[in-house]
Structure 1
Amino acid sequence: MEDLGCDYFRELSSRSFFQPSSRGEVPLFVMHDLINDLAQFVARRICFRMEEKLENNEGDTIITKARHSSYVCGYRDGIQKFEIFQKAKNLRSFLPFGLRDRGTNQSTSYLTSDVPLQLLPRLRRLRVLSLSRYRICELSSSIGDLKHVRFLDLSCALISTLPESVSTLYNLQTLILRNCKKLSKLPANMSNLINLRHLDVTGADSLQEMPPKIGKLTSLLTLSNFIVRQDNGSTINELGSLIQLRGTLCISGLENVENAMDARRANLKDKQHLDVLLIKWSNISDNSRNTSVDSEVLDMLRPHEKLKELAINGYHGLAFPTWVGNSLFSNMVNLKFQNCEKCISLPPLGRLPSLTKLYIQRTQALQNVGLEFYGSGSSNPFPALEFLTFEDMAEWKDWSPFEVEEGSQAFSRLSELSIKRCPKLLGKLPNNLPCLKKLDIEDCPLLVVTWVPSPTRLIEVRNTLQFESLISLSLKDVSILNSFNNPEVGCDEKCKIWPFELADFPES
């Protein structure tokens, strides 16, 4: 059904029915003014906007027959605002609109507690209900009386729990709980919602676990975060039956997995429609955690080779399993390792043919980025990599250079290189980066390199080295600067390094 809807949308967009909007970071589409006017005219008998000024007789007729309603939220809306809906007994859609705070992108509207208590029981035929524009603190159990509702959006609500009556909304297909920061628990009988297709709990950071038997929701297409249970919630093997999952999936709470075979039963390898996978253990330091269990769990969580993005956070294994860096993952474009504190080596990521972004942060035990990083037998490692970042690597001492042979080239498309807070790094950095445009090196006081641009201890300038594309250079916490005459050094004569930032240079 969703695929068919996407096809319809693309067809309408190709005919300029919808147009892309540049507002905000999230891609949006708007309707052309003329098309909007036409749509309002055609739908005037069944669509009602509270702001419209209607004559008494006409207003009563439209409200009685209205199927869909929308309005602009006020700062604080009380029951008086909604008295007009007493006559809207056939209403199918209830959609408030409003502005969000520019700084936080959060709703700034409030709804008095009597509105859900008095209004919702009157709208028993609702299919679509959104209260996402309101910072509501409590949701009445009467919401369970809306037996026909298919779409429920409570984003940004301040509720800590959902009423158990939500579990009786058997026709519910979409439940959106984005940025419900205080939400700590989902209804215990949520597995009854067998028609649920989309469950979005992105940003619900207080949520502690998934409810029991969530694996019964076999129609699920979207599950933004699966939190492995601590006590009575769902175990990771519940994911095994959710074979239709697509888009982005985050699996968190993996420190609660005690048996790696449970992770295998999650059956990620057969979830062919997943594009993005986030795998997370708790970041709380725990020396009692078994590194071998973490290694076995991650090994069993091998995804399908069509995966495009992978993030691993809080992993305590000593090394990564062989599937990480396997060239069969030919669609992988974005890879992120964070808080892998006990890992002592990196996988052969140079084999990934489509990898464009690589981010490695707080891999505290890693001392050497060796030749295994490039992948044995690879003549052109990292052929597509454009952005490479290392941050907060407390023990990193050496970066082994790729052994260049005739016709071979590592990092041939790298345009941005960032190395920050790596206090023990001593080794050489790659010295032939023809596409480098931005270099940002900070707090690496022991680093010694022999080419420009240099991070923290510039020994000499060699005009023969190739940085023809460099346009941005940031050097901070540099211990010795022996030779640096002007910001054009090491670049093509036509190239100007701009902006050029030097900071924390002691006198040499």
Structure 2
Amino acid sequence: MGSNEMGEVVTKRQKLSPEDKESLTGRKTDEVSNSSEEEPMEEMWSEETPLDPRPTISPHFSILHVLDLSYADIESLPQSISRLVALQKLYLRNCERLMQLPPEIGELTNLEVLDLEGTELLCLPKEIAKLVKLTCLRMSFYGYANQTVIPRKVLPNLSRLNELIIDVTPYGEWWDVEVEAIIDDLRSLKELRALKLYLPTAKLLEELTLIFPGLANFRFTVGRCEEHFISRLPRDNEEEFNNWEKLEKGLKYVNGDRIPHEITKVFKHVNAFFLQCHWTANSLSEFGHENLNEVKFCLVMECNEFRTIIDSKQFNQRNDGQAESEDFQDFDEAIVLGSLERLIVRYMKNMESIWKGPVGKGSMSSLKSLALHTCPNLTTLFTIDMLSNLINLEELIVEDCPKIDSLVSLKNSGSKSGLFLPSLKKISLLELPGLVSISSGLCIAPKLERMVVFYCPKLEKLSTMDISSTNLKVIKGEEEWWNALKWYESDLSMEHEDYLTSLFIPLRRNGDLFAQLTED
């Protein structure tokens, strides 16, 4: 717990100075010498009384402006929380045992930020309506609440709200009724600029039509998650998707069996798109190429009917199967995913390629990071036309794609000369048992700094065209693979071979691969 002149307290197990202790408790340092610095929250509570076994907040803390009890092991807040009359910001994030707030929370009338994200409450007390100065309210609800989690008239009373986050474990039909009432209340929040909300059906998006265009930030999750549905998405990918500072507007569509017009209507506004478990779509193109123009971050996973990410044949078709007007016939000139910077593809059972058909110049030209994980039928990664567009690609990860024999397909390609992937700095090739060649003889990655190869048993030869960079800092791989490696160029100098050997760091098969990959 630390303090300053503004009366801020943050329980991060920081040690108090003697001056801090005296200013917070009203006692001289020697009077609090028995306080445990290892349990900083204890100084905040007065002793329990026989009539009330719960600790109470010391009156000396009435000057506090900021209080952070995130991750604290607390079951409840004392009624004496009402003494913190000057409090402006209260953080109670990820308090696993806290399930409800006391009615006295309504006495904190100067509160501007109430952050309960990750703390699964049963419901909010109706007294929250008194907190009329709130500009930021973040909350999470326990999925089996089966009750009104936000009492009616609470949200309309918080007219100054600028940011509203409502997380809920999406189990049960009770939320269907609850969220409709919440959407009705949102119409009165004229200052709302940031909203995070779970919507069981796409139809509810239509009811937000008058709200979301005016939002600077939003995250909408649409679709029903089954009760036993377990996502295999790494936490860092989910955090990246939810990063409002980098990606202002995001849409997550889960368990869809069609592409409702409500989805495509919002899709036009998003720069972060997450598609998970769509049961009928064959490609991202079915959402409309014209709707992909603003997308910077795209994550697609567990869509078993996908054959490719972009299908150029879809460009000339509307949803009704009829051709578009003459102005839009030439796909070769079309720029698709021109703003995309990050593409992640995971667990795509039947996907065969990233792109099918002609590639318009400029398509995917902003892409900086591409990661493909567990795509058992993927055979084509890059064509020459696609490769020519990837002038900004800095990181490439290909993992568990057993049918890939080369990163570059030369089938039906024209010119094969030139320097490709000019910005690539990191490449990771993991568990690719069919990989024979990296670049099919093309000169790639002149700025490559880091290369990782793990369980690619058929990659028996390397070419200096594959690693032409003079910026290489590290090469990681299995020691057996490196020792058996042959080079295509018979005139490879001993000096250059020694240089590459000096960069090599062996990976252990029986060790934690992730830990080894993240080590410097």
Superposed pair shares fold, TM > 0.5: yes
Q: Is the 8 A contact 1:159 1:182 kept in 2?
A: no
Q: Is the 8 A contact 1:421 1:443 kept in 2?
A: yes
Q: Hey, what's the Cα distance between the residues in 2 that align with 1:126 and 1:182?
A: 33
Residues 308 and 158 of structure 1: is their aligned pair in 2 closer, same or farther, counting only changes over 3 Å?
Answer: closer
Paired residue type of 1:176: R
In the alignment, which residue of structure 1 is the partner of 2:149? 186
Q: Does 1:439 align with 2:439?
A: no
Residues 295 and 476 of structure 1: is their aligned pair in 2 closer, same or farther, counting only changes over 3 Å?
Answer: farther
Residues 84 and 445 of structure 1: is their aligned pair in 2 closer, same or farther, counting only changes over 3 Å?
Answer: closer
In the alignment, which residue of structure 1 is the partner of 2:464? 463
Residues 170 and 108 of structure 1: is their aligned pair in 2 closer, same or farther, counting only changes over 3 Å?
Answer: closer
Q: Is the 8 A contact 1:361 1:392 kept in 2?
A: yes
Q: Hey, what's the Cα distance between the residues in 2 that align with 1:164 and 1:234?
A: 29
Q: Is the 8 A contact 1:312 1:338 kept in 2?
A: yes
Deviation at 1:112, TM superposition (A): 5.5
Q: Hey, what's the Cα distance between the residues in 2 that align with 1:54 and 1:502?
A: 55
Q: Secondary structure at the match of 2:98?
A: coil
Q: Does 1:363 align with 2:348?
A: yes
Q: Does 1:226 align with 2:194?
A: no
Partner residue of 1:52 out of 11, 23, 32: 23
Partner residue of 2:248 out of 276, 288, 291: 276
Residues 336 and 187 of structure 1: is their aligned pair in 2 closer, same or farther, counting only changes over 3 Å?
Answer: same
Q: Hey, what's the Cα distance between the residues in 1 that align with 2:254 and 2:120?
A: 24
Q: Is the 8 A contact 2:284 2:309 kept in 1?
A: yes
Unaligned segments of structure 1, at least 5 residues: 1-29, 41-47, 57-70, 99-105, 257-272, 284-288
Q: Secondary structure at the match of 2:214?
A: coil
User: Which residues of 2 match residues 269-348 of structure 1 at below 5 A?
Assistant: 275-282=247-254, 291=257, 293-294=258-259, 296-304=261-269, 308-316=271-279, 317-321=281-285, 326=290, 329=293, 332-347=295-310
Q: CA-to-partner distance for each residue in 1:291-337, whole Å, 9 max, x for gaps? A: 3x236454233233xx543333333322224666659836x543322
Partner residue of 2:204 out of 235, 241, 262: 235
Residues 218 and 239 of structure 1: is their aligned pair in 2 closer, same or farther, counting only changes over 3 Å?
Answer: farther
Q: Secondary structure at the match of 1:366?
A: coil
Paired residue type of 1:364: K
- TM-score, L = length of structure 2: 0.60
Residues 228 and 141 of structure 1: is their aligned pair in 2 closer, same or farther, counting only changes over 3 Å?
Answer: same
Paired residue type of 2:293: F
Partner residue of 2:134 out of 172, 176, 184: 172
Q: Hey, what's the Cα distance between the residues in 2 that align with 1:324 and 1:475?
A: 41
Q: Does 1:397 align with 2:379?
A: yes
Q: CA RMSD in A?
A: 4.9
In the alignment, which residue of structure 2 is the partner of 1:412? 391
Q: Secondary structure at the match of 2:72?
A: coil
Q: Does 1:385 align with 2:347?
A: no
Residues 142 and 55 of structure 1: is their aligned pair in 2 closer, same or farther, counting only changes over 3 Å?
Answer: closer
In the alignment, which residue of structure 2 is the partner of 1:253? 223
Q: Secondary structure at the match of 2:208?
A: helix
In the alignment, which residue of structure 1 is the partner of 2:122? 160
Q: Is the 8 A contact 1:458 1:481 kept in 2?
A: no
In the alignment, which residue of structure 1 is the partner of 2:88? 128
Residues 466 and 442 of structure 1: is their aligned pair in 2 closer, same or farther, counting only changes over 3 Å?
Answer: closer
In the alignment, which residue of structure 1 is the partner of 2:408? 429
In the alignment, which residue of structure 1 is the partner of 2:41? 73
Q: Is the 8 A contact 2:346 2:374 kept in 1?
A: yes
User: Which residues of 2 match residues 91-170 of structure 1 at below 5 A?
Assistant: 95-97=66-68, 107-110=71-74, 115-116=78-79, 118-120=80-82, 128=88, 130=90, 132=92, 136-144=98-106, 149-157=111-119, 159-167=121-129, 169-170=131-132
Deviation at 1:346, TM superposition (A): 1.0
Q: Is the 8 A contact 1:457 1:481 kept in 2?
A: no
Residues 132 and 484 of structure 1: is their aligned pair in 2 closer, same or farther, counting only changes over 3 Å?
Answer: same
Residues 182 and 450 of structure 1: is their aligned pair in 2 closer, same or farther, counting only changes over 3 Å?
Answer: closer
Deviation at 1:229, TM superposition (A): 4.0
Q: Secondary structure at the match of 1:425?
A: coil
Q: Secondary structure at the match of 2:128?
A: helix
Q: Hey, what's the Cα distance between the residues in 2 that align with 1:84 and 1:250?
A: 41
Residues 53 and 173 of structure 1: is their aligned pair in 2 closer, same or farther, counting only changes over 3 Å?
Answer: closer
Q: Is the 8 A contact 1:148 1:169 kept in 2?
A: yes
Paired residue type of 2:139: L
Q: Is the 8 A contact 2:129 2:158 kept in 1?
A: no
Q: Is the 8 A contact 2:438 2:466 kept in 1?
A: no
How many aligned residue pairs are there?
A: 398
Residues 280 and 327 of structure 1: is their aligned pair in 2 closer, same or farther, counting only changes over 3 Å?
Answer: closer
Deviation at 1:464, TM superposition (A): 4.0
Deviation at 1:187, TM superposition (A): 0.8
Q: Hey, what's the Cα distance between the residues in 2 that align with 1:386 and 1:235?
A: 34
Paired residue type of 2:207: E
Deviation at 1:389, TM superposition (A): 0.6
Q: CA-to-partner distance for each residue in 1:3-52, whole Å, 9 max, x for gaps? A: xxxxxxxxxxxxxxxxxxxxxxxxxxx99xxxx77x78xxxxxxx97751
In the alignment, which residue of structure 1 is the partner of 2:485? 484
Identical residues among aligned pairs (%): 14
Q: Hey, what's the Cα distance between the residues in 1 that align with 2:344 and 2:292?
A: 20
Q: CA-to-partner distance for each residue in 1:250-309, whole Å, 9 max, x for gaps? A: 3233679xxxxxxxxxxxxxxxx99434333446xxxxx6x3x236454233233xx543
